[in-house]
Structure 1
């Protein structure tokens, strides 16, 4: 932040798109600080150009020196509160002071000899687990097979519509995580998959802007970590002089009072960012993640199946062409997706759209530990990530 960072290719592309969008849509004094911080020369920084943000550097020093007290109860909290009130916002210093991190127990499903772990709701990791729970009884003999893609897509659609209906803050969900991940419910959803593309509907279980990184060390410690402002640059509100860009993670809620995900004070509504983890027996295999909004659980399912069903190494698992369910029967596929399979999927009733670039198909990272204790990493070619070893 202090000395500058050279803008990398993928970052530069999205920065320019964000700038273009904000230039067209944001007006008013409350957004002036965003442009001063992220477009200091009246434009987005160019690829390869050094960008500096001394406000960020000063903020990070204050957070470090006060052990985060400045952000939650001190000077930074006061500045956030003041600018929020100036802009007609609702975030107050009392909200910041009342915040406490939540330690949660991850949720999991057993998939063909492995356990796949995700963060529980309000995150959407359960969507990936529901899809894998539907697919776990199938034997996939070939990756590049129309039947493989068809069943993956159908399972993903069924899991997603359930997630979009039921997922919210866990203690306010009207169905339990255990019900959604039960063998019985997985089997019932699996039975709906036929030869033709279906129009997905939520089931009725029995009642009882993102950065991902992974790291591991030689002592067996592993971390799966994800953070996001959402929608690229978040809300467009930057606290003057601090570099703090206010996020937009509360976006995915409903204003229908009858919806499971209805917005209420203090409630953590549906959240898209989900770090993943894989274990076998009582041993950690490693962390994995695919960032990218609603592509995330779809990317998790594809990466895990590439690893377990098709025995691809981490880099090949990430490099494989991807698809994503958009809505109804609409499936978007990458430009290098096999055309003959796309045509075969259309014959099954799927509506295929060809993606214009890699941006919408997620950007992932993986570290697996082999039986011999060797750490093997992969980084997505769709982003500026790298595998660093020391």
Structure 2
């Protein structure tokens, strides 16, 4: 893969940089999520109206008809411009586009991509986090409706969402992975209760969703019965890729900030500190190169697969190494930005759990890429 922009990609990048220079808000993101959410949403709406969001989706569903390379350029340039964080919605549109009926694609995709309607992902449960196949939420067919009972947890931005892409067991007698189906659940439906979860840093980014006799139309099933596991794997493969989620430019910015902290603290001449910073820089470059390998496969037409677990493991390692170093360097209580670094550190601890734990990622790589046998017993 040629890592240089083509002439067309260079023009795209230049236009995007110009737009960002004129449109990224001067004020920083609000510290409180209740205020930060409308700030993030307003910026993403502006991006969509200008044609910079949903780049690789077809034009007939509200996209731009471009490709993964443009998506990667957008991610890089947003990071360089220190733009507001984008809402995690793009990967939820993928299963709607791939598995949805014509009516579902026409009804839901454009409002999702335009952030007119907010979606969340109802996968994890109290007893089914890393082991998603053990989920207990049930959906039972009654005439022209499905009746859903269960409990979801760690649902990102669930308190702000209008719809949930929800997994439920529809065939209790099937093998664990095969009896799961996916549903489109409006969160204002009778029987749905959404309860925010307060995190260690005081944020309420996650929520619990309780479903008590929730009735939805039969046509709200996404795909066919028992397609749920396949749909879930498609979602998480898109979710785990560091190129699309924008972690690369964010980590590069953090690394630069830590270099400035190192110099300002008088530790710039400390060989051990410089070596640690250099080690993080080297690991970030390994992550970048692997993400480019993944991107090369995407440009060639290959959908995300189990190799995205490598991206996820490398991404987690780099983030936690960065945050561990920041806690050591930003030690003075009065240091500027200390509270912000501590919030980043706390959030980084979850990196080895969300999106599938590190242990799950290693199992995926062992079984699906290396062909190792599943341990019995």
Instruction: Provide TM-score, normalisation by structure 2.
Output: 0.29
Q: Would you tell me which structure has more helix in proportion to its own residues?
A: 2
Higher relative contact order (CA 8 A, sep 6+): 1
